[in-house]
Structure formats: structure tokens, C-alpha cells
Amino acid sequence: MNLNQALSIYIGQGHRLGFQFSYQRGVVYFDLWQFGVCCAIGISIGGTGQFREKLDHFPNDFTDIEQNIKPGTIVIIGETHQEPESPRFFKRLVDSTIAKYQCLSIGLEIERSQQTTIDDVMAGRAPVSKIRIPFAVDHDGMRRMIEQFAELKRQSPCLKVEAIDADQDRDENMANRLADFPSDQPILVLLGGLHALKKVNWIVTSGKPAVAEILVHRGFQVKSYPQRWLPETCPGDQGRTSRFIGATEPEALPILNRTLTGW
């Protein structure tokens, strides 16, 4: 499945619409939706006109996301780990941002202890194989993306690639690191999808806010796009088609519950 075959599904988060759905041990709030599900008919769910692209066109048009990558805004791409299309897509966003702004700060879900090694890779002093990346995150596509960042840095010296993760209190520590990024240039972050949630009303005492929620509570402008990679066809080799469903329509809630549980 290549980038143009996969359906990359994003939940763009801007102004809260007050919509909620069950998520494992809590309730998650999202703001805007563009969604597809695998059934006889792929269904797209949207919150505003800017998200009304049909899903079969969406893999080639990321205009809304690109427009939000700008100084003063932290854009978080919440990935499904080890999907090869994810770093390829993220690299496309990096390319378009550098072409527009030249400078960019990138945050990756790698422990801060690896920052010196990342700096060496960016400077051409070490191979990307020297970076210790968590097993759940690591794959060939991720390392190839970092190699490409090193190539880009030779052309755009103000490109910064930062390891933001920690071995404890991860969301809090990642939010702290992102809060220190310079606000006069775009900030683009690649994290696991759960870290990109802006609001979770936990029903268990152990629940803690995610990176995006922490930053929002501190007053940062955050645009968060959790992603879902869906097969090109539905079960039984049925083709996928799309229709638009508003975020406030009654059928939106059961669709979200079916498609997001188990993230």
C-alpha cells in the first residue's frame, strides 16, 4: 500500500464543537472530523467546510494541514506507529514548510538522551543507525526520514530536529520540551496518536492529559491531527466510496466509536 493508495484519515482540531465519544477508559473530545470507515460505503465525517474533501481525494491534498503549519502554532501529527506511509507523509509536510518558511523545528518521539547522536547525524558525523529509537516507534521508514532531514539541513541550516521524549511522565515532559521551542518559526511534531488528543475526560484515576491537552491548557495554539491508515478496499474486496457527515449529526457518534476504539 503506497501513499496514494492508503487513506490517511485525520481529525483536525480547531474550535471545540463539544462532541464526545467513548474511548477505552475515558471520553475523548475532538473538534473537527474527516473520517472514513471500512464497510460497504466509506463515510467521511467533517466539522467545517474546509474538511469537506472526499476521502478518495484526500491523500493528495493536505492543504488544511499545511496552512496551519506556521509560526506561533504547534502542529502535532498523531501517527499509527510503524506504518511506512506515515514518515513519508510527514516528510512531505516538512518539505512544503521549508519551501515556505525555510526554518522549522521538528519534534520526534525519541528520548532526549539521543539528542547528541541526532545532532551528529544531522551534521554528517554519524549514521542514523546510531540513534536509539524505541522499539514501538522504530522502523526503516522512520530512520530513512531522519536521514532525509539530514540532507535537508544541509540546504536549510535553521532546520532543527529535536528528541522530545522521556522515560517517565512522558506527556508532561514532551509538552515541556515543545513549550521551549522558538515560537517565531513553525513547529511540526510526530507522535503516537494518543499523545495528540486535546481532551480526555478520564473515568479512571490513573488517566492523565496527553501532550496536546497539556499545551492547550497552557495557552499554546495547537493543531492536532491523529491519523488512521485504512485499506484501499473494504472486506470482500468492496470498493470504498465517500459521503460527508456533519460532526453534529446523530450517526457521527457510533461511527467514531466503531473506528477509534483500540487505538
Distance set, CA 231 to CA 2, 43, 71, 179 (Å): 10, 14, 34, 36
How far is residue 116's CA from residue 113's CA, in Å, rounded to a whole number? 7
Q: Under a CB-based contact definition with an 8 Å cutoff, are residues 226 and 193 in contact?
A: yes
Q: Under a CB-based contact definition with an 8 Å cutoff, are residues 232 and 35 in contact?
A: no
- Among 178, 176, 147, 173, which residue's Cα sits nearest to residue 162? 178
At 214, the amino acid letter reads: I
pLDDT digits (tens, 9 = 90+) for 154-211: 999 999 999 999 999 999 999 999 999 999 999 999 998 889 888 777 777 888 899 9
pLDDT digits (tens, 9 = 90+) for 197-245: 887 777 778 888 999 999 999 999 999 887 766 666 777 777 776 666 6
pTM (whole model) above 0.85 = no
Q: Bridge partners of 150? A: none
